[in-house]
């Protein structure tokens, strides 16, 4: 019986291909509908994944085991995490700010290797008769270790520079490049921020993270004054070198902060928690993208249905002949379904190949990727479309009265 089954499938496919080759243009155009649908779905997934990879890379460029103290409870896991907290994120930015006392209190906890308060402000930086808008970041000397910022020329500012409120800065690579053309040239020069003169003591290596590359890093105590008159910080970053101490240290940090703030006024999160939240957001974005792309698949499916109806009418006589020699309704139904599925899957595979080629090109600029899921989705969706949109025409063929079918001219 096994041989018969193979013969059956062979006959189905042989019949399908015989018809496809007879109507090459029509077959191609019909399959093209599915090709475009699959192409758009796979590309959208690839770009969505790419965006996610890109952001993950940005986070991974931060130091390991980074714990961030932030206002609000946007990322707190105990609150359920993820999307449910998106609403509170809006308010958190307008919530509390931290001060130097908080930083000093946290600094007393053991097992923290690096700790810096973080002040952030956007501003105009002038130097070498150029002006450039960038981010001014106030931090202590630990920032360089915490954020994996390597110095290309010169040196980072020191602990003493922070204490003495030295007017020294480290320039991000792109910032130095914008002002001095050759980033190395910036070393030893002066720049002005808010009419205050700073000396460039170091220039950072290119990091690939626009936030850091366009930044001017200033000792945080130096910002106290015109840049940061309230002496506040938006967050405090801690680096813990031993991974198994992270949970314990986090708890200690919370205990310290709870003395001053309410439970939902701040959060102590690891970067992995933020990543999880971002990944959840991207899962939703991806789903929306796929839903949009699916509209074109739907249109492609309707194209297949249309052509299959035409095919059934055209081949009424063939149906009659097959019925006369012993084909059951089911046999006829299977034959046309097999054709619809073959057409749809062919279109899907073509779409997948095109998408792969496009993604290979995009990868030069952007970490887009095609994963196994896209491939499975392609086959599942295009077979489902073949069945879904092929079933009605196939049923019409199966239900043709044999005697009328055989007399059909």
Binding site for another protein (CB under 8 A): 1, 4, 7-8, 11, 14-15, 18-19, 22, 317-318, 320-331, 402-403, 406
**φ, ψ at 218 (rounded to 5°):** -120, 140
CB of 337 to another protein, least distance (A): 16
CB of 395 to another protein, least distance (A): 13
CB of 400 to another protein, least distance (A): 11
Residues 209 and 212: their CA atoms lie apart, in Å, by 6
Q: Which two tokens stand for residue 140?
A: 């202590």
CB of 21 to another protein, least distance (A): 9
**Pairing between strand 130-139 and 190-193?**
unpaired
Q: Which two tokens stand for residue 378?
A: 């392609």
Residue with Cβ nearer another protein (325 or 361): 325
Q: Which two tokens stand for residue 97?
A: 């700010």
CB of 332 to another protein, least distance (A): 10
* Helix ranges restricted to H, 61-130: 86-92, 100-107
Nearest CA among 46, 50, 42 for reference residue 294: 42
CA count, 13 A, side-chain hemisphere, 324: 11
Residue with Cβ nearer another protein (1 or 364): 1
CB of 19 to another protein, least distance (A): 7
Neighbour count for residue 3 (Cβ, 10 Å): 7
Residue with Cβ nearer another protein (87 or 317): 317
Residue with Cβ nearer another protein (52 or 323): 323
Residue with Cβ nearer another protein (80 or 326): 326
> Residues of 79-93 as b/e, b for ≥16 C-beta within 10 angstroms?
eebbeebeebeeebe
Residue with Cβ nearer another protein (238 or 332): 332
Please tell me the total number of residues recorded for the chain in this structure: 409
């Amino acid at each position: 019986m096994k041989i018969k089954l193979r013969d059956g499938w062979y006959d189905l496919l042989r019949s399908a291909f015989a018809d496809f080759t007879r109507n090459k243009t029509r077959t191609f155009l019909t399959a093209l509908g599915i090709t475009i649908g699959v192409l758009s779905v796979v590309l959208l997934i690839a770009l969505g994944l790419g965006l996610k990879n890109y952001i993950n890379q940005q986070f991974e460029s931060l130091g390991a085991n980074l714990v961030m103290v932030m206002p609000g409870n946007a990322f707190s896991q105990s609150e359920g995490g993820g999307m449910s907290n998106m609403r509170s994120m809006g308010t958190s930015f307008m919530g509390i700010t931290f001060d130097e006392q908080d930083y000093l209190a946290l600094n007393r906890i053991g097992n923290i290797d690096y700790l810096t308060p973080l002040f952030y402000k956007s501003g105009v930086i002038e130097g070498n008769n150029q002006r450039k808008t960038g981010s001014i970041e106030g931090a202590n000397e630990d920032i360089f270790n915490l954020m994996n910022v390597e110095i290309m020329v010169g040196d980072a500012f020191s602990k003493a520079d922070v204490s003495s409120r030295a007017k020294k800065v480290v320039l991000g690579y792109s910032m130095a490049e914008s002002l001095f053309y050759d980033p190395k040239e910036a070393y030893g020069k002066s720049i002005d921020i808010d009419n205050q003169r700073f000396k460039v003591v170091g220039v950072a290596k290119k990091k690939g993270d626009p936030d850091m590359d366009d930044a001017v890093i200033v000792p945080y105590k130096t910002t106290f004054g015109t840049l940061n008159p309230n002496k506040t910080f938006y967050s405090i970053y801690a680096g813990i070198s031993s991974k198994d101490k992270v949970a314990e240290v986090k708890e200690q940090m919370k205990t310290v902060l709870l003395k001053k703030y309410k439970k939902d006024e701040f959060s102590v999160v690891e970067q992995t928690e933020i990543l999880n939240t971002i990944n959840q957001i991207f899962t939703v974005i991806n789903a929306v993208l796929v839903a949009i792309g699916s509209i074109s698949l739907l249109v492609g499916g309707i194209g297949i249905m249309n052509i299959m109806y035409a095919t059934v009418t055209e081949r009424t006589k063939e149906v009659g002949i097959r019925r006369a020699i012993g084909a059951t309704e089911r046999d006829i139904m299977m034959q046309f379904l097999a054709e619809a599925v073959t057409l749809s899957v062919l279109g899907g595979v073509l779409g997948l190949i095109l998408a792969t080629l496009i993604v290979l090109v995009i990868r030069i600029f952007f970490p887009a990727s095609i994963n196994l899921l896209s491939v499975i989705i392609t086959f599942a969706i295009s077979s489902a479309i073949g069945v879904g949109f092929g079933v009605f025409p196939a049923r019409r063929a199966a239900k043709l009265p044999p005697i009328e079918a055989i007399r059909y001219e």
